[in-house]
Amino acid sequence: MADSEDRPAPGGPGVSPTWTSSAKDSVATALGTSRLWASYGYGIVNEVYWPSTGEPQIRDLGFIVADGENWWEVKRVAHYQLSAPRAYVPLTRVVHEHDAYRLELEFLPHPDRDVLLIRYRLDSENGRLYALLAPHLDAGRNENDARAGADLTAQKGNVSLCLMSDGGFSRTSAGYVGSSDGWQDFSKNGRMNWTYTHASNGNVALMGELAAKSGVLALSFAANLDGARTLARSSLAEDYDAIRDDFVAGWEDWGKTLDIPYTSPELRHEAELSAAVLKIHEDKTYAGALVASLSVPWGSSHDDLGGYHLVWTRDAVEAALALVAVGQTADALRMLAYLIGTQGEDGSWAQNYFPNGTRYWSGRQLDEVALPIVLVAKLKSIGALAPGLRIETMVRKAIGFIARNGPMTQQDRWEENGGANTFTLAVTIAALVAGAALLDDEERDYALSLADCWNERLERWTYVKEGPLCEKTGAEGYYMRIAPPKSDGDTVMVRNRTNDKLPANALIGLDFLYLVRTGLRSADDPRIVASLKVADALLRVETPSGPSYYRYNDDGYGEHADGTPFDGTGIGRLWPLLTGERGHYAVAAGEDARPYLEAMMRMAGPGGMLPEQIWDGEAIPRYGLYPGKPSGSAMPLVWAHAEFLKLLAASATGRPAELLDVVETRYGGKVPQSPTWHWRADNPFAQLPTGKALLIEAGAPFSLHYGFDGDRAGLDVQSTETLFGMHAVRLAKDALTARQRLDFTLQGKAYSIAIS
């Protein structure tokens, strides 16, 4: 198509941009040098990431079919079928069916070029096919330049794209979203009337009428337009079937190395798909970086620079452990090397970060410091650690951070509250025990002393024998969702319910099940059994897909009651990954995990993607909400797919991935008797059992004045530097023998500890 006339589009800069739905049918990348990832939803392309998994560049690429009298946008018709060669080969084929047309699409990421190829075929007597493209380049949703000519291009800064067809376009147009874009053209005119040549510095969109009813489209990305055009032309010059064969062969070779436990064909299919989902979410520029999801939760209602295309260390380690469980140790080793590269000097990891390591949110979570140590121990236990991998320094730094900042976490795994949380404590204590083997003698003894002390005191922080949930359920006690720091009193701020404060003992989650999963408590421990009675009564819902659980009672992270999207407040919905956690307990208790695996499988979207949350209310079709099926939250969620794989493996072996021999040997599911208790001002205690030594600790030098049993004179002593930057005064067991009370003053504040 040649047209030299300059026709700028009216209506700039366009409406305020939103992102796209998080409901993915599938996700894909090629196993080659290409740095492109694509996600598909409602039968079209609805995000492409380039040149890393943290950088989405388009909102969507969809299609309109028009026959001169009527027109249909295929994603809104949403009547289509999905297929792929194999569960672990993400070559997605979509067939859209309508009385007036049949549209076949195949989405093929090029293995060697930063190009997404789309093979299309339209069967319609009078129909024509139109491609609609919404660029949102370089995180500048409202600052894109678009140009329509023989091809469709867009540019912002150092990011450019080109959409080209091997059969060419009959007409093209560039416009501003909401005023002069192609969809508005059809909406107002019933046909393509507008042929604007460019739209600058706005929220832009492109449209092209395809000259042929079948052919191949190439969507390419590069640092400039010349590069994008070169990539598109080069890809279209190649034989499509040869590219397709290379793509399939790469995934077939990887898939053959999967070690999936024997199971039903349906569960095996979901397991192979889950393994591929984890693999797809790994970056290539930053090998080993694994984002939480190639999606933005409730994206169609807002625009979020971060979304879930960020690395959370927790989610990444959960995925790495799942890959180990299905034989993919090389993938897990790359993730470990990446985590070593992103660790901070203080030993921690950022709350979340882009694949290049740039932090996004600023919270600190102890479980995200502990889990990489668990991964090291897991790989070490199976003899998979590479000889040259520098793990000792990483482990020492991480344990140092835990030692200085534990046992209370600034944020729990749901990233909402600080305090003592059973999930965080379970993985932290396991990490201290497992990591101690890589330390020198003094450091090892100190790490084990902390682990034993925190393990022994765990119930003192988190377990209540008399609480409001006992009255509701008849249980004898339960582990609280989180015990807040003393400075917060006895209440917890529920972050997604307009910051409501609730009593800490009025909340429960499934976090305590990790005490069993890591070997700290046995499955038949009366406190675990009692807590499960409360959780099953208050958090469990039997959906048409099977049982699932809320994160905790009174959660606010989910859609509103009327189905409208989460907007900072809402109502917490059910999480498939928690179905998996309940299934892990079933394994530990000698029960059958299959009902939980099958439930998770049924909770998936049409392409087998596991969501973050599923809907728990009456069906609301206008929002696509159906009981037991994905809500508008993130889909796929890497953590959910990882949980499915680990549960399947645990159901075959009887052992969860997080259960380490060294931890199981040390504790055997029972509360230890620690020779020394560690006292800190941010985590004080008022009673010390007899027969124990006491270590009064702080992160800086201090003077201590202390006495026993009302002795007013007392003693003054200066702290000494111990390990990991800590300073302490140690009172030996013999010094405390036959004493009833220790009184001391630290930094001008008086404390008292009963010895009994």
pLDDT tens digit sequence for 132-178: 999 999 987 789 999 999 999 999 999 999 999 999 999 999 999 99
Co-location of 270 and 223 in the same domain: no
Q: Which CATH number characterizes residue 579's domain?
A: 1.50.10.10
Rounded Cα distance, 321 and 275, in Å: 11
Is 12 part of any domain?
Answer: no
Checking if the pLDDT of 633 tops 60, the result is: yes
Q: What tens digit of pLDDT does each residue of 236-289 get?
A: 999 999 999 999 999 999 999 999 999 999 999 999 999 999 999 999 999 999
Query: With pLDDT > 70 as the criterion, what percentage of the chain qualifies?
Result: 99
Co-location of 342 and 214 in the same domain: no
Picking from 646, 667, 688, the residue at the C-terminal end of a domain is 667
Co-location of 269 and 249 in the same domain: no
Q: What tens digit of pLDDT does each residue of 86-144 get?
A: 999 999 999 999 999 999 999 999 999 999 999 999 999 999 999 999 999 998 778 99
Distance of CA 9 to the CA centre of its chain: 40
Co-location of 680 and 559 in the same domain: no
Co-location of 479 and 435 in the same domain: yes
Local structure of 679: helix, strand or coil: strand
Short-list 303, 336, 365, 295, CA closest to 611: 295
Co-location of 576 and 682 in the same domain: no
Co-location of 516 and 375 in the same domain: yes
Picking from 210, 232, 253, the residue at the C-terminal end of a domain is 253
Is 318 part of any domain?
Answer: yes
Is 21 part of any domain?
Answer: no
Co-location of 293 and 169 in the same domain: no
Q: What's the mean pLDDT in 415-432? A: 97
Query: With pLDDT > 90 as the criterion, what percentage of the chain qualifies?
Result: 93
Instruction: Categorize the per-residue pLDDT at 386 as very low, low, confident or very high, splitting at 50, 70 and 90.
Output: confident
Co-location of 422 and 457 in the same domain: yes
Q: CB–CB of 426/370 below 8 Å?
A: no
State the chain's mean pLDDT as an integer. Answer: 96
Q: CB–CB of 37/53 below 8 Å?
A: yes
Is 2 part of any domain?
Answer: no
Q: What's the mean pLDDT in 213-233? A: 98
Short-list 503, 347, 481, 354, CA closest to 424: 481
Domain residues for 681? 676-755
Checking if the pLDDT of 403 tops 60, the result is: yes
Angle at 194 between CA 191 and CA 200, to 5 degrees: 135
Q: Which CATH number characterizes residue 739's domain?
A: 2.60.40
Co-location of 86 and 103 in the same domain: yes
Co-location of 746 and 633 in the same domain: no
Checking if the pLDDT of 10 tops 70, the result is: yes
Structure tokens at 738: 């036959």
Local structure of 638: helix, strand or coil: helix
Rounded Cα distance, 210 and 219, in Å: 14
Is 10 part of any domain?
Answer: no
- Please count the structural domains in the chain: 3
CB atoms within 10 A of CB 554: 18
Picking from 230, 253, 276, the residue at the C-terminal end of a domain is 253
pLDDT (0 to 100) of residue 4: 60
* Torsion sign over Cα 620, 624, 627, 631: negative
Residue given tokens 């931890």 in the structure block? 663
Is 534 part of any domain?
Answer: yes
pLDDT (0 to 100) of residue 582: 98
Phi and psi, residue 94, nearest 5°: -125, 135
Short-list 671, 88, 551, CA closest to 331: 88
Contacts of 485 (CB under 8 A, 6+ apart): 408, 418, 419, 682, 683
Structure tokens at 440: 């020198």
Q: What tens digit of pLDDT does each residue of 291-331 get?
A: 999 999 998 887 777 799 999 999 999 999 999 999 999 99
Co-location of 693 and 751 in the same domain: yes
Instruction: Categorize the per-residue pLDDT at 712 as very low, low, confident or very high, splitting at 50, 70 and 90.
Output: confident
Q: What tens digit of pLDDT does each residue of 563-611 get?
A: 999 999 999 999 999 999 999 999 999 999 999 999 999 999 999 999 9
CB atoms within 10 A of CB 486: 13
Is 738 part of any domain?
Answer: yes
Q: Please state whether beta strands 546-550 and 574-575 pair in parallel, antiparallel, or not at all (unpaired).
A: antiparallel
Is 330 part of any domain?
Answer: yes
Checking if the pLDDT of 702 tops 90, the result is: yes
Q: What tens digit of pLDDT does each residue of 478-506 get?
A: 999 999 988 778 999 988 887 789 999 99
